[in-house]
A and B are shown apart, each in its own frame.
Chain A
Amino acid sequence: MKKYIQLFLLLFFATTVVSVAQSDNISPARKQAIDSLALEKVKDLSKYISIIGSKETQFSEANRVMDRAEELFAPDAEMGVSSLSRREIAYYKVRRYFERLMALNYDRVNITWYDIHYISDLERQPDGKYVGVVTVYQRFEGTSLESGLNYRDTTKKDITIYVEKKQTQIAGRTIEFWDVMLGDIRVTETSA
């Protein structure tokens, strides 16, 4: 076992050294790893949105989930929403967007996500952070029992991701890792 631990340690530090030696460039393999991390965050967001929108979610639980969802975002992130009938972008702070979603006047709400996504390249911005965009598609179905009306739409969500190299201390050693935060989201109603 001792031999394995030494091997693991060697591999571990080699990974760290490679990370440092590569400086701030993102290799294709690293990009793939970051994409996975970004998708995990988007998955978390989509899960939270489904919970917040659901009419079966208690008010206190929805608020707790909103807090968690907000933690995924960089400060000042906004949602920019447009529809087929109104092309102008309406801007909402993330929290406000969630609150509006929670307050929608339907008896039943079902939010699901299509099995497709697209992840852009990562581009470096002037401050050295990387930025990318993940595109996903959401289906919304709202039912009003009293009027019997159903509303359904499909929206394209272009989600900004910020990728930054950070450091943490583990067992007295400085380890570098790539962190992903969500940023502004452009929400476009589609004709689908």
Chain B
Amino acid sequence: MRKLILLVLVTILSLELAPGQGLYSPGQPKDDGRFAASTKQVNQFFRRFNAEESVEGDKRYYEGDPLYRDRELRGKFISILFDNETSSVDSETKKQFLNEILSENYPQYIHFHREDWFAEVSAIFTYKGKREDVTLFLKIQPEGLGYEWVIDKVVFEPFKDIFKKPEGDSKGFLHPLSHELGFMNLRKAFQDSDTPEAYTPKEYSPDYLTLFLYEMKKGSIKFETINDVKFHFFQINNWYFELNQFNRPGFNTGWLIGNLVRLKPGDKESILRYIYDQK
């Protein structure tokens, strides 16, 4: 009995007190600093952006820790969170961005569980036997006891080709006294026309996600694979940035800000339209 108690106690204490251990053992390759510098996960991007972990990434800082969200540490972190090799973000824009998020009176942080950030996933599906590019937009939402990623929107070119509402003279319409005829001319809209969407309101917009799911349920669309993932952030007041993964030699790699834009009134909506329409 004594032995059992001791064994259990030692097991529990060792679990609670064990420091983080690596896979390293003598003879194994040593990182020359490139992997340490790389922002290896989106999670690490959040932690670095907010200064919520140590420089080495092996210690998470929580509220109450001396360096938690430390302004100086944040400044150092964020300066390495930009793609400095291929993106066209100029240094003045970066400087303005840094000044605003590191403001002493109103520092701004990014939050995993909040709105105003989402994922863009480039995927491949087969549609009627042919490989097709599909862009899925996913967002995180509370569900049950935790959170989940959900598909919010889809962009699928074959669907866009189906719904092309005619404009001007070529657009069919139901004349304004159709009601007097009991709408008998609906036959023209549904049987004689190959653009029934011409008979919809100005604000009509096809729900591609519903169509996509319907086709999938029918078996016409089948998932193949994923090509690429990126993230869009609107969480910082008056700023938009895009988070991309850079897999290349050197120290400026991993999840980095590939695009940064200062937003004027109305810009957010324009950028969202651009992202969702993939124009």
Contact = CB atoms under 8 A, between A and B. Distances in A.
Given A37-B15, A127-B145, A88 B29 contact: no
A123 B146 contact: yes
B30 to A, nearest CB: 5
Given A11-B9, A120-B43, A128 B144 contact: yes
Interface string A38-79: 011011001000000000000000000000000000000000
Contact of B9 (A12, A91, A156): A12
Q: Among B12, B23, B24, B35, which residue has the most Cβ atoms of chain A within 10 A? A: B23
A29 B19 CA distance: 10
A48 to B, nearest CB: 13
A114 B145 contact: no
B31 interface: yes
Given A5-B5, A171-B4, A190-B247, A36 B30 contact: no
Contacts of A9: 5
Interface string A100-116: 00000000000011111
B146 A125 contact: yes
Interface residues of B, number: 50
Contacts of A17: none
A123 B34 CA distance: 27
Contact of A36 (B12, B19, B41, B248): B19
A162 interface: no
B6 interface: yes
Contacts of B143: 126
Interface string B128-148: 000000000000000111111
B35 A116 contact: yes
B31 A115 contact: yes
Which bracket fits the contact residues of A? 35 or more
A156 B17 CA distance: 28
Given A125-B146, A139-B29, A175-B8, A115 B23 contact: yes
A137 interface: yes
Contact of B15 (A24, A33, A135): A33
A143 interface: no
B205 interface: no
B60 interface: yes
Given A113-B28, A123-B147, A126-B146, A89 B22 contact: no
A125 B5 CA distance: 34
B165 interface: no
A148 interface: no
> Mostly helix, strand, loop or mixed at chain A's interface?
mixed
Given A12-B9, A29-B16, A135-B40, A115 B144 contact: no
A31 interface: yes
Contacts of B225: 88-91
Contacts of B147: 123-126
A112 B26 CA distance: 11
A133 interface: yes
A178 B59 CA distance: 21
A117 B62 CA distance: 20
Nearest to B144: A126
A28 B62 contact: yes
B35 A114 contact: yes
A158 interface: yes
Given A12-B8, A33-B16, A37-B15, 4 more contacts: A39-B20, A89-B226, A116-B35, A124-B146
13 contacts: A15-B16, A33-B16, A33-B18, A36-B21, A39-B20, A89-B226, A114-B29, A116-B31, A117-B22, A123-B146, A124-B147, A126-B146, A191-B249
Interface of B: 1-2, 4-6, 8-9, 12, 15-24, 27-31, 34-36, 40-41, 43-44, 47, 57, 60, 62, 112, 124, 143-148, 225-228, 247-249, 253
